[in-house]
């Protein structure tokens, strides 16, 4: 009965809000965004039976972090997507305050979801790790909880990421907080996805030489890339440092080697995945052609998100573009998925002194820029990227305070690969050596204006719409 009532409310929200949301000039042309309401974490990203499936945290009833549903998109090519039936509705007692984040696996031909059922009560909260299966008609059948709250941890245990290892067993990494308020990543094992054994803590505060490193580690994702294991996670509670860790919460990775037998993960230092203003909760999957692909949420929890102007149109947040991951020279590189080239139209090549080049329409565009010296890029006079020969600085006015804020990258700059989509920018530096992802909200049709006397070679494409609504 509760599920039927929630679905009726969702249909009403869609019928009343979809047209208004579609009229927002800041609504993306080809990035994935919610029809109405609030979107956050990508969930259940998988290629299954030839198609890509991307589930997502969604509150269709308000632009607020309430009891989350799972929405569902499907695509054959990572570019053109279609809506599928709502996957999960928080209708059961074990998920009364939200179907929180999780992952998807191919369980012998059955697409199976593993997610966190969030429950809050007067004295605190608890969490259940739950299963559901995707049916032929696109609906999901809930199988209920398979893992209760582990002993020794607070109610903040969530975001299971599951994979099948070479030994035929299922493994799970799970974000957690212990009773001392320290963030951890747990490793668990199962033979059937139903009965799970806790093997131990493989990363977190006070482990692997880290010392104090945050009070909660969200959205862990562990996978093999090249000859190493990569742990992606989102530690909450890291203090800002000069020119790094400047967002409310961080998202980054460790390179190491997972010892499956002894549940140990000796690893190197923490590296931020994205140096822009909005990036969090990424999730990866393996494609059938052997690539490791990633989507991230272009948002930050508990930041300044509710000062974004899209709220006036009844929606908020979007995903990043899909990215390909490689491990090169001891660091993770991110490149825009090659499938995005399908969106290219109207190619243009320009060369000359930066300040003499004509402004370019960047409502929906892709750019490759090779500067030879000091350069500043002005995006609709709402976002600025400056290169002084040693440091890239991305600048904008904070949407809440109006005070100018900055993000940074240091290195030797050879190339910028930039994707623009009405109210978002993704800047890939030096063929994926670093990325800066940000939202911005122009008050006029966005144009790119270049400033500087340096010579610049620039390739430009207009990008067509990619979402099927």
Cα 162 from chain centroid (whole Å): 17
Pairwise CA distance, residues 122 & 93, whole Å? 15
The closest alpha carbon to 416, from 388, 396, 395, 392, belongs to 392
| Beta strand 434-439 pairing with 216-225 | unpaired
Q: Which of 24, 41, 274, 421 is catalytic?
A: 41
Q: How many CB atoms lie within 10 A of CB 388?
A: 12
The closest alpha carbon to 204, from 183, 221, 176, 220, belongs to 183
The closest alpha carbon to 114, from 176, 84, 83, 158, belongs to 158
| Angstrom distances, CA of residue 107 to CA of 78, 194, 258, 361 | 22, 12, 23, 46
Do the beta carbons of residue 355 and residue 451 sit within 8 Å?
yes
Cα 326 from chain centroid (whole Å): 17
Whether 41 is a known active-site residue: answer yes
| Cα atoms in the Cβ-side hemisphere of radius 13 Å centred on 85 | 12
The closest alpha carbon to 235, from 254, 214, 256, 219, belongs to 214
Q: Which two tokens stand for residue 449?
A: 């204006």
Q: Which two tokens stand for residue 394?
A: 């991305």
Pairwise CA distance, residues 229 & 134, whole Å? 29
| Cα atoms in the Cβ-side hemisphere of radius 13 Å centred on 178 | 17
The closest alpha carbon to 294, from 254, 323, 333, 272, belongs to 323
Pairwise CA distance, residues 330 & 321, whole Å? 24
Q: Which residues are catalytic?
A: 41
């Amino acid at each position: 009965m509760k599920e039927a009532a929630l679905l009726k409310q969702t249909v009403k929200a869609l019928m009343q809000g979809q047209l208004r949301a579609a009229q927002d000039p800041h609504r993306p042309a080809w990035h994935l965004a919610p029809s109405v309401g609030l979107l956050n974490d990508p969930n259940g990203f998988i290629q299954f039976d030839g198609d890509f499936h991307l589930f997502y945290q969604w509150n269709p009833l308000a632009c607020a972090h309430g009891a989350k549903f799972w929405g569902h998109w499907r695509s054959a090519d990572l570019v053109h997507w279609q809506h599928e039936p709502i996957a999960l509705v928080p209708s059961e007692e074990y998920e009364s305050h939200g179907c929180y984040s999780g992952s998807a696996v191919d369980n012998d031909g059955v697409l199976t979801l593993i997610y966190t059922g969030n429950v809050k009560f007067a004295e605190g909260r608890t969490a259940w790790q739950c299963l559901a299966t995707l049916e032929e008609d696109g609906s999901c059948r809930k199988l209920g909880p398979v893992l209760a709250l582990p002993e020794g941890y607070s109610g903040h245990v969530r975001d299971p990421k599951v994979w099948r290892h070479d030994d035929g067993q299922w493994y799970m990494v799970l974000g957690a907080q212990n009773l001392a308020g320290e963030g951890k990543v747990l490793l668990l094992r199962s033979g059937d996805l139903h009965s799970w054994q806790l093997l131990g803590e493989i990363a977190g505060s006070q482990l692997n030489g880290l010392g104090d490193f945050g009070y909660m580690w969200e959205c862990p994702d562990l996978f093999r890339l090249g000859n190493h294991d990569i742990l992606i996670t989102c530690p909450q509670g890291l203090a800002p440092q000069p020119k790094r860790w400047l967002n409310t919460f961080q998202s980054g990775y460790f390179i190491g080697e997972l010892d499956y037998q002894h549940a140990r993960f000796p690893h190197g230092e923490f590296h931020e995945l994205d140096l822009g203003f909005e990036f969090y909760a990424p999730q990866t999957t393996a494609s059938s052609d052997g690539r490791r692909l990633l989507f991230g949420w272009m948002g930050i929890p508990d930041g300044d998100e509710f000062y974004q102007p899209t709220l006036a149109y009844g929606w908020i947040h979007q995903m990043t573009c899909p990215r390909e991951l490689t491990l090169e020279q001891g660091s993770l590189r991110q490149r825009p998925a090659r499938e995005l080239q399908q969106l290219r139209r109207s190619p243009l090549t320009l060369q000359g002194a930066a300040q003499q080049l004509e402004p370019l329409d960047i409502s929906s565009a892709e750019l490759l820029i090779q500067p030879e010296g000091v350069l500043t890029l002005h995006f609709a006079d709402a976002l600025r990227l400056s290169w002084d020969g040693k440091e890239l600085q991305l600048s904008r006015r904070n949407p809440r305070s109006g005070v100018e804020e900055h993000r940074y990258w240091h290195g030797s700059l050879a190339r910028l690969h930039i994707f623009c989509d009405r109210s978002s920018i993704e800047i890939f530096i030096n063929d994926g050596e670093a990325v800066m992802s940000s939202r911005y909200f122009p008050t006029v049709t966005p144009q790119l204006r270049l400033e500087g006397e340096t010579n610049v070679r620039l390739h430009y494409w207009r990008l067509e719409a990619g979402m099927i609504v």
